[in-house]
Amino acid sequence: MKLNFNYQFAKNFFNENELKQIKPYVELANEVLTSKSGAGNDFLGWIDLPENYDKDEFARIKKAAEKIKNDSEVLVVIGIGGSYLGAKAAIEFLSHSFYNNLPKDKRKTPEIYFAGTNMSGVYLQHLIDVVGDRDFSVNVISKSGTTTEPAIAFRVFKKMLEEKYGKEEAAKRIYATTDKEKGALKTLATAEGYETFVVPDNVGGRFSVLTAVGLLPIAAAGINIDDLMAGAKDAMNDFANKNMDENQALQYAAVRNILHRKGKDLELMVNYEPRVHYLAEWWKQLFGESEGKEGKGIFSTSAVFTTDLHSIGQYIQEGNRNIFETVINIIDMNEEDIIMQVQENNEDNLNYLENMTLDYINKKTMEGALDAHLEGDVPSILINLEKLDEENIGFLIYFFEKACAIYCRLLGVDAFNQPGVEAYKRNMGMLLNKP
């Protein structure tokens, strides 16, 4: 089993009987979801995506990724929200911690940078400086092509490409991931001859990491997307189980719901590896944008321990008791580690750690923090992941997608719309005199 859901550090906060009582409602929510009925049923293509994806496009994605590897030192991925978070999460999760800084002979794939994720001109100029005179390609990801942040970034890098290579050659270095038939980017891509990949109509942005949206940048980073999809397919099959007692995604949704009803309004995703940071950023959008509407929902945030134990650890231990933790624990890091050695001069008093690996010390720290937070009345959910590889993150991605959709059904909200996102866009347009 790739994933183990463990709520032993939350059991003190509710009765097992509460799980039995909520079970029929969770199973009904699952039935409504898997039958593709109920609110947002136009956006349920992600449910069977790991099996029923476009195989021809998948082959084109791998071919395009190879071309990018061969002709580009840098790939600039342009997108915001669900158009970049999943790809960045997978790349950071599975790659060297300093991927872009490795010498090319060790990396053997292009440096990958993300643009269109903000409005900062300084950030964009600094990225231009990093690209410099080197060969590069662009993957622009936008269903409409008019979302302000990525549209601005694409203008800038499209101009750079055309000035460097000429319009015809530049077009061969632009990969557009957009709507199948309509929108400004689709129109431009058709007119200019960009290779185009599809954002499926029935898969919303925050559920789109296993489509071309995420797969092209992930593949360009040298990650095996066949294994990624295989892991997601395993999860799809596992979490199709209608019995909550045998379905960990349903259990996670149930425990979240019970804790929320008891006043736990903030969920802190905790990890002990910096490379998992962007997985939490993806998770924050997945849950926050899905459940945060109609005055409802749990506020999703995150922390990297032990780093953040030295900043917000005090609050977690003794602050407002409206929080719970979901802890990602990777059992086998499958990487080289550092072993502590004895020093004659033991001024730092660390000789007691002799022959211990840092991973072992890190995991003991996790156990200590779980116990301490339990004493501090903070329930913790533990998600144990077998190891760091493509199949496991594919499995984990689908686990969260399924649990999120079920939880929103229990909450009584449409997981697949985001009406509140449009408010800032509308106000921004008015202030900038947008026609």
Measured CA to CA, the distance from residue 426 to residue 87 in angstroms comes to: 28
Q: Which helix (H) or strand (E) holds 303?
A: strand 299-304
Measured CA to CA, the distance from residue 218 to residue 85 in angstroms comes to: 11
Q: For the CA atoms of the chain, what is the radius of gyration? A: 23
Q: Which residues pair with 78 in a beta bridge?
A: 115, 140
425 as an active site residue: the answer is yes
Closest by CA position to 230, among listed 394, 373, 385: 394
Closest by CA position to 147, among listed 106, 118, 181, 174: 118
Output the 3-class SS for 299-346: EEEEEECCHHHHCCHHHHHHCCCCEEEEEEEEEECCCCCCECCCCCCC
Closest by CA position to 219, among listed 61, 388, 395, 389: 61
Tell me 102's DSSP state. Answer: S
Query: Using N-to-C axis directions, what is the helix angle for 148-165 and 121-131, rounded to 10°?
Result: 30
Q: What is the DSSP string of 75-132?
A: EEEE--GGGTHHHHHHHHHHS-TTGGGS-HHHH-S-EEEEESSS--HHHHHHHHHHHT
Q: Which residues pair with 385 in a beta bridge?
A: 3, 330
Q: Which helix (H) or strand (E) holds 383?
A: strand 380-387
Measured CA to CA, the distance from residue 357 to residue 338 in angstroms comes to: 6
Catalytic residue among 96, 108, 126, 425: 425
CB atoms within 10 A of CB 292: 16
The phi and psi torsions of 135 (rounded to 5 degrees) equal -65, 135
172 as an active site residue: the answer is no
Query: Using N-to-C axis directions, what is the helix angle for 212-220 and 225-238, rounded to 10°?
Result: 140
Measured CA to CA, the distance from residue 79 to residue 102 in angstroms comes to: 24
Closest by CA position to 213, among listed 301, 123, 86, 103: 86
Measured CA to CA, the distance from residue 15 to residue 357 in angstroms comes to: 38
Query: Cα–Cα distances in Å, from 82 out to 86, 361, 406?
Result: 7, 35, 19
Written as one letter, the residue type at 306 is T
Catalytic residue among 92, 273, 289, 391: 289
Catalytic residue among 16, 310, 336, 344: 310
Q: Residues with catalytic annotation?
A: 289, 310, 425
